[in-house]
Amino acid sequence: MIRQLVIGLLFAMLWASAAVATKFGIQAADPLVLGNVRFLVAGGGMLLFAYLGQSAKHRLPQGKEWTQLLIFGGLNTTVYLGCFVMAMKYVSAGIGSLSVATSPLFIMGISAYWLKRSLKWYEIVGMLLGLLGVGIATWPLLQNSHATLGGIAILLFGMLAVSVATVYYARVEWQLSKLVINGWQVFLGGLLFIPITAIFANFSETRLNTTFWLSVGWLILPVSVVALQLWFYLVSKDAVRASLWLFLCPVFGFFYSWMLMDEPVTGFTFAGTFLVIGGLYLAQKEKFRQQTTLEK
C-alpha cells in the first residue's frame, strides 16, 4: 500500500508538470511540431533502450498485439496528447491542469459499463469530494484565466480519449513488458500524428532553441517515460482507483504555475487540496484498512 501511495504521488507530481512545460515549449515552436518531436523521440528512445540495452528481456509485438498498440497509441498519444498540446495554445496552464481531473468521471462511467465493475459508495463519494476540491482550488484561477471555447472543447475531447484508452489498457491481457508497450504506443501515436503536423503546423513559428529543447526534454523523460510507466503500474492494479490520482494533478499544477508563471495561490487552493486528499483517502479506505490489518 505504501508503495502505491508513493508511486501515485510521484505520478501526479510529474504528470502535472506537463502543462507548464508545454506552455514554455510553444513559446518557441508550433504546438503540433512540439508534440510530434516529443512523441517520436520519446517513443523511439524507449524502444532503443528496450531492444538494444535490454534485448534479452523484451520482444517485438506479434499478430494482434500490433492492432492493440495502434488502438492504444492512437487514443492515448495521437488524440489525447495531441489535443492537449494543441489546446495549450488557447488556454492557461491552470486550466490545462484542471482538465486532467475530468478523466476520473469518464473512467468511472466507462469502467462501470465496459468492465462491469460495481463502484462502492465510498469510491463515488470520494470522487465527488475530489471534484469539489478541484473546483474550489481552481476557482480564482478560472476567474482570471483567458481561454477560448474551442480550446476547452479540445481539452475535454482529449480527456475522453485518454479515459477510453485507460479502460482499454486495463481490459487487454498484455503479454509485452510495460516499457515496450509504452515505447510502441508513443512512437506509433507519433507516426499517426505526422500527417496532422505536416498539414496544419506553422513551421515558420518554430525555433529550435534552448527553450524548445528543454521543454521537449522534460516532456520526454519525466513525463512521457517516467510518469507513463508509473501510470501503467497504477492502472494494472485498478483502473478506477488509479484515476483518483489525477485529482492531485491540478494541485501540483497550481504550485508549478505559481512558481514558474506567477499564477496566484490562495486560501481556495489550500481548502481544495484538503478536500482532494480527503476524497482520495475515502475512496481507498478499504486498502488502508487492509494495510493496517496486515501490519497488526
The packing angle between helices 267-283 and 121-144, to 10°, is: 160
**Residue 118: per-residue pLDDT:** 77
pLDDT band at 296 (very low <50, low <70, confident <90, very high): very low
**Residue 80: per-residue pLDDT:** 94
**Residue 166: per-residue pLDDT:** 86
Averaged pLDDT for residues 166-194: 92
**Residue 272: per-residue pLDDT:** 83
CB burial string 221-255: b at 16+ within 10 A, e below: ebbbbebbbbbbbbbeebbbbbbbbbbbbbbbbbb
**Residue 291: per-residue pLDDT:** 47
**Percent of the chain residues topping a pLDDT of 90:** 36
**Alpha carbon 35 to its chain's center:** 14
**Residue 213: per-residue pLDDT:** 95
Averaged pLDDT for residues 153-159: 90
Instruction: Say yes or no to pLDDT of 292 above 70.
Output: no
Distance CA 99, CA 159 (A): 7
* pTM exceeds 0.95: no
Average pLDDT score, the chain: 85
Averaged pLDDT for residues 160-164: 91
